[in-house]
Structure 1
Amino acid sequence: MLTATKKGLFADDAVFISSQSDKEAVIREVYQKLLDRGYVKGDFIEHILERENKYPTGIDTSPISKDLPNVAIPHTEGEFVNTRMIVPIELTHPIKFNNMIEPDKELDVKFLFMILNNDPEGQANILAQIMDFLNSTPVDQLTKLFNLKSTNEIYEFMADHFKQD
């Protein structure tokens, strides 16, 4: 097994591009890779899917810019993960996620920031950092991120541009 390069909250072997057609398929695909790399525990999948259904994580980015795609921030409790990091996932085509603010509304989402956090105090902190990143990064830079087509480019962008506490 190769050793991952890790910069802050990002690891080069935990950045993905998915062509799946629905949120559960994407989460299952990424889960298997994260499990194989030891980042999550076996029961992670059932808990992240259950949490996503009860507490949707889709975020409407139109208040930032009408030109940005929507994102989602799936996560679950820290007892189901082995590390503290953000897993960026580029979707090759939009997938429906329910809106975090208005759970009965669906959003077409094009990018995921999956949170893995084994620190029970830190879940809200990482979520806040992602929201700060989306709000403080210039729209042209976010557009660049959301159009990158390689996991290495996404990893380098996030490692270089994401302010970490």
Structure 2
Amino acid sequence: MNSIDVSLFDSDIVYVSKANSRREVFKEVSDDLFKRGYVKESFLDNLNTREDAYPTGVDMTPVSTDYPNVAIPHTEANFVYKRKIVPVKLENPIQFHNMIDPSQKIEVEFLFMILNNDPEGQANVLAEIMDFLTQTPKEKLLEFFGSDSKTDIFNFLENNFTKVSN
């Protein structure tokens, strides 16, 4: 597969959220994505249902104990119109269940929400995100996670995400 290109990110759908719960942040982001024509009205319900059944929290401590944990929420292709990665910086850590051990809850500070209208492409996008998280130099990734500017987050991803797999 070719490396993912910058078109997976859109400066209009980068979020910094003050939400205090998973459902609250999902609603905030989903409502805006729906208004902008990225997802169907049924997206939010399906996103929550999928997250309940298949948790997406990623414990980053094996990569670095300095990194915040992330989550990579997504749902099936028939609920979205476009293929994008939606970055969401959480100002307040939110509990997600761990993807590897769903009985474990972890505090998450950043979401990479996958919108994928290609049913075959979900695993590829997930792999690209994991490559970005494990292969970006530590000092650069710490700076990225520390940012609360939508513009800085978008620019970092635009300038660094594609370079991971090249």
TM-score (norm 2): 0.94
> What's the % identity of the aligned pairs?
49
Could you tell me which residue of structure 2 aligns to residue 23 of structure 1? 22
Unaligned runs of 5+ in 1: 1-5
Aligned residue pairs total: 160
State whether structure 2 residue 107 is matched by structure 1 residue 108. Answer: yes
Give the corresponding residue for 1:77: 76
Q: Which amino acid aligns with 1:50?
A: T
* Residue type at the aligned position of 1:131: M
Query: Secondary structure, in 3 states, of the residue corresponding to 1:120?
Result: coil
**SS in structure 2 of the partner of residue 107 of structure 1:** strand
> Once the 2 structures are TM-superposed, how far is the Cα of residue 93 of structure 1 from its aligned partner?
1.5
RMSD of equivalent CA atoms: 1.3
Between structures 1 and 2, the one with greater helix share? 2
1:9 equivalent in structure 2:
8
**Contact (CA 8 Å) 2:15, 2:150: kept in 1 or not?**
yes
Amino acid at match of 1:149: D
- State the 1:8 CA deviation: 1.9
Question: What's the counterpart of residue 142 of structure 1?
Answer: 141
Asked whether 1:157 is paired with 2:160, we answer no
Asked if 1:58 is matched to 2:57, the reply is: yes
* TM-score, normalising length: structure 1: 0.94
3-state SS, counterpart of residue 152 of structure 1: helix
Report the Cα offset of residue 27 of structure 1: 0.5
Q: Could you tell me how far 1:15 is from its partner in structure 2?
A: 0.3
* AA matched with 1:60: D
Q: Which residue pairs with 1:3 in the alignment?
A: none
The Cα of 1:7 is off from its aligned counterpart by: 3.4
CA shift, 1:70, in A, is 0.1
**What residue ranges of structure 2 are gaps of 5+ in the alignment?**
none
- Work out the CA distance in 2 between the residues paired with 1:123 and 1:35: 20
Letter in 2 for 1:122: G
Do 2:6 and 2:162's aligned partners in 1 also have CA atoms closer than 8 Å? no
Structure 1 residue 35 corresponds to structure 2 residue 23: no
2:90 matched residue in structure 1: 91
2:93 alignment partner AA:
P
The C-alpha deviation readout for 1:110-163, integer Å capped at 9, x for no partner, is: 000000000111000000000011110111111111111111110110111102
Cα distance in 2 for partners of 1:78, 1:114 equals 13
Give the letter for the 2:65 counterpart.
K
